[in-house]
Amino acid sequence: MNKPPIAITGMGIISAIGNNLAENENALLQNQHGIRKYSVSDPLIHQEKWVGEILKSNDEFYSELNLNPEEAFTRSTLLGLVAAKEAVLSAGLNVDDGLRTGFISATTVGGMDATEKYYFDFMESEAHRKFIPTQNCGVHAEQIAQELGIKDYVTTISTACSSAANAIMLGARMINAGILDRAVVGGTDSLSAFTINGFSSLMIYSDEHCQPFDDNRKGLNLGEAAAYIVLESEKSVGNKKVLGFLAGYGNANDAFHQTASSDDGEGAYLAMKTALEIADLKPEAIDYVNAHGTATPNNDFSEGKSLSRIFERIPDFSSTKAFTGHTLAAAGAVEAVFSLLALKNQKVFANLNWKTPMKEFDLKPQTEIKSKEIHTVLSNSLGFGGNCSSLIFQKV
């Protein structure tokens, strides 16, 4: 099943720990998290919540991106534009050079943040009515692609928390199939009352900072973010600087439950197994696992089980969600960028807030930043409905 690795030539990100790639990298290296009480006073949110919030207003983004204030851009789209433009700029892409370029973007919130904000005055406010069409998840990808000038192929993926990982995987598969020469792939999600209240209703939202893989974990903190990477074929990459390679990818669905992962971690196990097969690697070749690690009781047990099944000796692993919060559809792309930063800096990033081992396993995440030789990183993204994806990144 071995496929040639896909070159990665650019990346961009905005999250609660930084407004660009350099700021995110510095925060990870300095163990600086971005979890704080939500600053937005929203009557639809019933309690104060700990979130990974980006402290910039939509108006500031409109101004910085030179967007027409009369056009409707939701927060998810604005965040996506920031990250996608940084990725394209860092890769030095010229979308008019005749090569086939795709834009594959993931979201779950879509335009929900705007429609829930303006729902009660749509009938009276003509100014807000322009946001009604932006509710559709696909609108964000169309708007970002238009701003980037990408026309060859544009699509949206929404598979819950594995969405961005699946966007990356689809881009790689289309390049390997000869359909595209390169692709800008990733995802974006903003905070919204619907998602905050939804996870609260499932009783998996923590009332303090989340503790991935800790026996006393209470649940997740949500975050907002956007991240994109640029994938290029051998024909497209030319003499460009390569940041890393996407060597393997896998997706599987255990079809166990609408919101819970299976007790034996079957979906994550199969996704990792497939990714290793496509990369033509043995499990012992993995130097670091960037785990999904949401800090919910179910996820961390199930993922721990899958890691125990795939690895005879589990490599260094950590969840970076205690830095950014769980960024939903963007998580797979955020953690793809973090995986590439781990390769660049030869660092295993810390699993913050861990204190007590889980009773079910002899598993301890890497709780302090660690220097080591890292050639290969595996990143997991596990979504509701059992949709599980794994990506393998390698050093140049």
* 129 within 8 A of 72, measured Cβ to Cβ: no
Strand order in the sheet with 316-318: 153-157, 101-106, 182-189, 225-232, 6-14, 244-253, 387-394, 376-382, 288-290, 316-318
> For strand 182-189 and strand 376-382, is the pairing parallel, antiparallel, or unpaired?
unpaired
Q: What is the DSSP letter of 154?
A: E
Catalytic residue positions, numbered: 161, 292, 326
Give CA–CA dist 213/34, Å, rounded.
19
Alpha carbon distance 279, 247 (integer Å): 5
Q: What is the DSSP string of 260-318?
A: ---TT-HHHHHHHHHHHHHHT--GGG--EEE------HHHHHHHHHHHHHH-SS--EEE
Is 107 in contact with 187 (CB distance < 8 Å)? yes
Token readout for 387 is 């949709």
